[in-house]
Structure 1
Amino acid sequence: MKAQSQRQLRAGELVRRALADIIAEGAIHDPAVAGVPVTVTEARMSPDLRHATVFVAAMGQADRVKLAKALDHASGYLQRELARRIDLRFTPKLRFEADDRFEEAAHVDEVLSRPHVKRDLD
């Protein structure tokens, strides 16, 4: 995967922050989203800034795949709200994906804390 340009990174951060605010306001009434603390971890923009892949994680025991599907279902509403809040030439088409980096990091920590692995690292 090619590294994102500064323009893509700036636009992605703008989209990420705006979406985090919109979701935190609680305007989405889907049971998979309502009452669940959602973290918008990243928004990756296409080179033309017309598409954004938004990575989300649910805190606690919520199902992150269901969360991503629920947000995909509400993407039309989220795009309209996003258009009101950010100043980009085009409002990007949103696609949501579950972010599993937190689980991967926890697994790596667990492996590294095993006694026989710890012994080899010292």
Structure 2
Amino acid sequence: MTPRDKGRGPSQRQLKVGELIRHALAEVLSRGDVMDDVIARHSLTVPEVRMSPDLKLATCFVMPLGGGEADDVVAHLEKHKRFLRGELASRVSLKFMPELRFKVDTSFKTSARIDELLASPQVARDLDE
């Protein structure tokens, strides 16, 4: 990445590949193809997959519905990332399947915090003026 590119968002190619991987990963997880008790106990959502500029690394943001045991789920997904990468390779037609990394999605928590701030009396007072 050049210094010029630092202010730019992801390319169209990064976005497209990220969406392809997100859909395929959601399908694999919803079908229950991963044989793991912790993962099987939860319904997982995959809100976003971010690709590196060279498309060799996919950071998959996941969240169990309800938010419970998110760190355990991510740890177990990390254990099975080789299997998941193989499953995705058979579903997504890419020259190279990127390495997978899993992280807990915090966007729901962030949006709840923003809603809480907007509903606060201080903001309501400023809006009324």
Letter in 2 for 1:115: P
Candidates 16, 22, 27, aligned match of 2:33: 27
**Does residue 4 in structure 1 map to residue 10 in structure 2?**
yes
Q: CA deviation at 1:51?
A: 1.2
Letter in 2 for 1:85: R
- Stretch of structure 1 that moved more, 54-63 or 27-36: 27-36
* CA distance in 2 between partners of 1:63 and 1:120 (Å): 38
Q: Select the structure of larger CA radius of gyration.
A: 2
Q: CA deviation at 1:33?
A: 1.2
Structure with bigger helix share is 2
| Equivalence for 1:63 | 69
**Does residue 109 in structure 1 map to residue 115 in structure 2?**
yes
- Stretch of structure 1 that moved more, 11-20 or 28-37: 28-37
Candidates 89, 94, 116, aligned match of 2:95: 89
* CA distance in 2 between partners of 1:50 and 1:61 (Å): 29
Q: CA deviation at 1:61?
A: 4.2
RMSD over equivalenced CA pairs, Å: 1.4
- Which segments of 5 or more consecutive residues in structure 1 lack a partner in the other structure? none
Q: Secondary structure at the match of 1:42?
A: strand
* CA distance in 2 between partners of 1:4 and 1:96 (Å): 19
What percent of counterpart residues are identical?
A: 43
- Stretch of structure 1 that moved more, 72-81 or 27-36: 27-36
Candidates 108, 119, 122, aligned match of 2:125: 119
**Does residue 45 in structure 1 map to residue 58 in structure 2?**
no
* CA distance in 2 between partners of 1:62 and 1:23 (Å): 17
Q: Secondary structure at the match of 2:50?
A: strand
Q: Secondary structure at the match of 1:15?
A: helix
| Shift >6 Å, 4+ stretches | none
Q: Could you state the TM-score of these two structures normalised by the residue count of structure 1?
A: 0.91
Q: Secondary structure at the match of 1:95?
A: strand
- Which segments of 5 or more consecutive residues in structure 2 lack a partner in the other structure? 1-5
